[in-house]
A and B are shown apart, each in its own frame.
Chain A
């Protein structure tokens, strides 16, 4: 037993050795997407400036939130990026600290919509996106959210599951389009349940859509603009709809973990992420749409991202308070009407 434990410890330290260097380490919790590019455009330049090391934990928002909560007494993550909903949940559970925005030199350069999306300065948006319908322009024509109910889309439609960040957005727009007035989106839920039989899948992974379009499984899907660069690569007749009811959207935010021992470094990193230079590099690599107003993009890049003052102002977002107050109701409505 003792020998076994000794070996375990020896092995553990052997494996852990590369990570435990002397320089200060900042732990970032992030999405598992484009990490190679992020390292090049953001982490490496910052590491060169601060003489520190950035260690990244990757996963989807929900998984990482679960881990943050489990480790809240002794957090290992210093700074996290999350979808707005999950960040709100984290704030609600007391897992994150408010941000002293006066220390962020780049704060005033941000679009208003990302400045305080969670309320109480609990998070700052570093990118935002529009959500709409992407469709096969050779097969259907989509000018309204209600066009998703067209019979020709039966068996050819993919919608986001309620468990994803896009799910509530779908209900929000369906509800608006059909004249719903209650915050529990009852109208939207009922309307979506009418077509559930014709929905190929309520998807959970964004990358799935590329596959579904390519395999000719679907002709239309509700998704965020962040999926657009990937889908454009398919070289198919795909179009981004501008429905008459407008576009919705969401944003991803940076949050500070409560109890982090690297607050100061985390703030510097956050400021770096919001800087015009870093935001421009990330936009040019089509990683994230810029949240910084000063970022200037050539038209071919702007075209695939969510970009510009007008776009930012035109988005119809679900107010955070409504999101928090009604999320349970949406999920249970979804479970009883749509998931079955």
Chain B
């Protein structure tokens, strides 16, 4: 039974991870077209990617966007998670459902709705629109993860702090926040990744000279057929891998997903 279990596990892991190895290998190809097995090995496409101005710009924008919108989402999400977890708020489930709606609305509709009924009527600049949209998308993750992390924290610690004379605000910052720090970091990483990889919502919100990396990749996939996209995908996968490994090592990300 145990061996069968291990065999299944190995097969499943291969199924999940194998495609990345294929992409990584294709990105290391010395040839001019995308194939597997690659035609010889070289780093030429990897170096080529670093030389591509448009990818560099959109990478920087995606990075900023992911950090900024996740930080904003946490500013909204942490107090909301705390308030809804600790206080007898009337209609608590209803409020939580409202906050979670961005997860169930198809991304293309969200992007289109924001473009037509928020960005254009209000005359928002492209970057503001992107920040706004990505923040809304990340809020549900922030609330969910921080809520999970608050559930692990016993309330009597906070009560003790208040009895001992601490203010509520002081208690939150000195007792609660340090204890849910890992949850917040986990939420940050999830939010970062959600925003960084976001395609359908951004599709309609990017503008002249301002485009995110995945959108840029999709646009060049329309016309370009060489290993550069594979090389870039492999680099991004490596980046994600590093983030996950550090996160798992430091805070046990797996508890919050």
Contacts and interface: CB of A to CB of B under 8 A. Distances in A.
Contacts of A294: none
A329 interface: no
Contacts of B128: 8-9, 12
B208 A29 contact: yes
Contacts, number: 112
B131 A33 contact: no
A67 B72 contact: no
A234 B207 contact: no
B173 interface: no
Given A8-B128, A15-B127, A71 B120 contact: yes
What range describes how many residues of B lie at the interface?
35 or more
A4 B207 contact: no
What range describes how many residues of A lie at the interface?
35 or more
A71 B53 CA distance: 27
Interface stretch (A72-80, A141-149, A152-160): A72-80
A207 B221 contact: yes
Contact of B222 (A55, A60, A70, A234): A60
B203 interface: yes
Contacts of B61: 15
A230 B225 contact: yes
A33 B64 contact: no
Nearest to A54: B209
B68 A11 contact: yes
Contacts of B123: 74
10 contacts: A15-B61, A15-B127, A16-B127, A27-B209, A32-B223, A57-B206, A66-B204, A70-B115, A205-B221, A214-B35
Q: Which 9 A-B pairs have the closest CB atoms?
A: A32-B219, A57-B208, A33-B223, A55-B209, A210-B225, A11-B68, A207-B225, A12-B127, A12-B128
Interface of A: 3-4, 7-9, 11-12, 14-16, 19, 27-29, 31-36, 39, 55-60, 63, 66-67, 70-71, 73-74, 76-77, 205-208, 210-211, 214, 230, 233-234
Interface of B: 32-35, 52-54, 61, 64-65, 68, 71-72, 75-76, 115-116, 120, 123, 125-128, 131-132, 135, 203-204, 206-211, 216, 219-225
